[in-house]
Structure formats: structure tokens, C-alpha cells
């Protein structure tokens, strides 16, 4: 699959999920993940969709795959924090939450113009 085909499937999956068809979204994202196991966006989207369905084990597995690809991504750290909190592991949730905060502050320092007028 080409990069464009992979992106089209991810976009289609996002649309499916927004329209309430999580099963179709998951099927498309799993195709992407199988064809391109290093596709962060597919793993992160899978984590979010499984989380929205309260399928915490699958959300965690997909989130961990995404985190392994981009451990310094603010959003995957936030996702993992939410998953761990729902699973009842507050200490692990706080670890990922703290990492997300640090990454957010780092982004604010590196890109102050992007954060002008926002909450401080």
C-alpha cells in the first residue's frame, strides 16, 4: 500500500468513527496497521476508538504500540493516561499524565506564538 492509500484509509476510518461506525473504522485501521506496523496515526486512532468503546485492553495494546513509535508525543501520553485511569491504575495514569504535561510545556516554550492568547 502506498502512503496515500494508507492515509486515505485512516481518513475514511476517522469518518466512519465520527459517523458512529466504530467497527468499520477499526477494520480499516487494522488494515493500515497490518500493512504499515510503524504507522503511529493508525495505532493512536485504534487506541482512541477502542477507548471510546471502553475496550480498555485493546485500547492499551494499541496505545502502547503508538507510544513505542513516538514516546515523546503529547497526545499518546494523554491517551495512555486516560486508559490507565479507567483501568484503575492511578500511579501509571499519573506517570503518563505528567509526561504529557511536560511535553505540553516543552511545546509552549518552543512554539510560544502558537500558544498566544491561550490559557496559561
Going by the DSSP 8-state scheme, the letter that residue 115 receives in this structure is: G
Number of domains in the chain: 1
Question: Following DSSP, what letter does each residue of 23-73 receive, concatenated?
Answer: HHHHHHHHHHHHH-TT-HHHHHHHHHHHHHTT-HHHHHHHHHHHHHH-TT-
Domain span at residue 47 reads 3-114
Give residue 117's pLDDT.
65
| Residue 120: inside a domain | no
Is the pLDDT at 118 greater than 90? The verdict is no
Mean pLDDT confidence for 86-102: 95
Task: Return the CATH number at 14.
Answer: 1.25.40.10
Task: Check if the beta carbon of residue 9 is closer than 8 Å to that of residue 41.
Answer: no
Is the pLDDT at 114 greater than 80? The verdict is no
Instruction: State the sign of the Cα–Cα–Cα–Cα dihedral 28, 35, 72, 113.
Output: negative
In which band, very low, low, confident or very high, does the pLDDT at 113 lie, cut at 50, 70 and 90? Answer: confident
| Residue 91: inside a domain | yes
Task: Determine what percent of the chain is predicted with pLDDT higher than 70.
Answer: 96
Q: Which three cell numbers stand for residue 65?
A: 504500540
| Residue 92: inside a domain | yes
* Sequence-separated (6 or more) residues with CB below 8 Å from residue 108: 115
Placement of cell 498566544 in the chain: 116
Give residue 107's pLDDT.
81
| Residue 119: inside a domain | no
Q: What is the pLDDT of residues 57-68, one digit of tens each?
A: 999 999 999 999
Amino acid at each position: 500500500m502506498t502512503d496515500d492509500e494508507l492515509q486515505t484509509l485512516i481518513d475514511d476510518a476517522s469518518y466512519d468513527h465520527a459517523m458512529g461506525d466504530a467497527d468499520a473504522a477499526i477494520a480499516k485501521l487494522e488494515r493500515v496497521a497490518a500493512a504499515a506496523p510503524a504507522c503511529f496515526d493508525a495505532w493512536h486512532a485504534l487506541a482512541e476508538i477502542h477507548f471510546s468503546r471502553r475496550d480498555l485492553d485493546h485500547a492499551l495494546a494499541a496505545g502502547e504500540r503508538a507510544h513505542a513509535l513516538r514516546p515523546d508525543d503529547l497526545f499518546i501520553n494523554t491517551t495512555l493516561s486516560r486508559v490507565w485511569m479507567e483501568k484503575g491504575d492511578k500511579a501509571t495514569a499519573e506517570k503518563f499524565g505528567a509526561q504529557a504535561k511536560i511535553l505540553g510545556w516543552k511545546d509552549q516554550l518552543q512554539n510560544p506564538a502558537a500558544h498566544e492568547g491561550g490559557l496559561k
